[in-house]
Amino acid sequence: MTAVTSERYGFVAELLADPDIEEIIVLGGHRTFVVRNGVKELLPHVVDTRAVRRIADQLLAGTGRRLDLASPIVSAQLPDGSRLHITGPPVTRHDRLNIQIRKFVVVASGLDELVARGTMTAGVADLLATAMRRDATVVVAGAPGAGKTTLVNCLLREVPPDRRVVTCEEVFEIEADLPDMTQMQTREAGLDGGAEITLRDLVREALRQRPDRIVIGEVRGPEALDMLMALNAGCSGLATLHANSARDALEKLVSYSVLAGQNVSIPFVRRTVSSVTDLVVFVRRTPAGRFVDEVGYVQTQLDSDVFTVETLFRRHHGTLEWTAARPDDERFADVRWTR
């Protein structure tokens, strides 16, 4: 931590420099928390709202984002890759400005490293690597901070170099050294007259770029329908979303798609979700670490009200086990399940 950084970021600089801290939560003028090894701790640091505002402005400097009355909610990425989220008045109380920084302290170079850490088994890694190489669509689900983005970055390292990949994110988080990859992020409407660019806009634009694979950083709204339409047009996909299980992730895609308009047919959306999605990976964060909890294969929907998901791997008593199920899909015929 340099003196300049300490001067700019105040007490937050010390927290950013601590490699064991995963998340920083500053409730301006009230309390400060950190998450260390999956456990939240209350710190003695309490500063007034003006000091927090100065720190917030310095954190945003150079990000192209700003906090003001017209934009009281701001998300950005810090130079070290950490994700910054700030909320201020009038969204918050007039005497409260909140800063939340999610640090990317768990960085893996590939699926093999996740296997070495115990996040997944070699069999799961082989299945997911095969899915990437053979253009299968994978949805990664889990709670905030469960390691979804880390897993996505590892998966992208398995994409063949001749594939064209287009990513759509609210804030740049995806990192992959692919020869043909275009990355796009959203933009808030600005006081300078700049128009808002939403995830829906980016997904539609991505389809015009003739991608082999579209990557959505986090699906949490009507862009789900645009993603499904893009995947239904022939390209493969990779997306993350917040969910409580693999099956819940599919239901979330339906719910988000319905938000796109009154004329969206739920039966149509359910059929589309099941036809374009191949694998759902559910990851979980625990005090012991981040783990793949479940991997499901999405079959053709047999019931109009319930998704047909074949569980391939499930964590049981702390151990991720193969269920002995094999999907009836030639793309996965040579997966080494029992490794």
Domains located in the chain, CATH noted: 3-102 (3.30.450.90), 111-332 (3.40.50.300)
DSSP 304-315: TTB--EEEEEEE
Q: To 5 degrees, how large is the angle CA 294–CA 298–CA 300? A: 160
Longest dimension (CA), the chain: 62
Contact 284, 143 (CB under 8 A): yes
Task: For strands 236-241 and 138-142, give the pairing.
Answer: parallel
Q: What is the pTM of this model?
A: 0.84
Instruction: Please give the structure tokens belonging to residue 230.
Output: 């893009």
Digitized pLDDT (tens) for each residue of the chain, 339 residues in all: 454 455 678 889 999 988 889 899 998 878 999 988 778 899 988 888 888 899 999 999 878 788 888 788 888 888 887 889 999 888 888 888 999 998 865 567 899 999 999 999 999 999 999 999 999 999 999 998 888 999 999 999 999 999 999 999 988 888 888 999 999 998 877 645 567 899 999 999 998 999 999 999 899 999 999 999 999 988 999 999 999 999 999 999 999 999 998 788 898 999 999 999 999 999 998 878 889 999 999 998 777 788 989 999 999 988 999 999 999 999 999 999 886
Instruction: Please give the structure tokens belonging to residue 111.
Output: 């699926």
| Residues near 93 by beta carbon (within 8 Å), at least 6 away in sequence | none
Distance linking the first and last C-alpha atoms of the chain: 43
Q: Cα(17)–Cα(33) distance, rounded to whole angstroms?
A: 15
Instruction: Please give the structure tokens belonging to residue 299.
Output: 């079959």
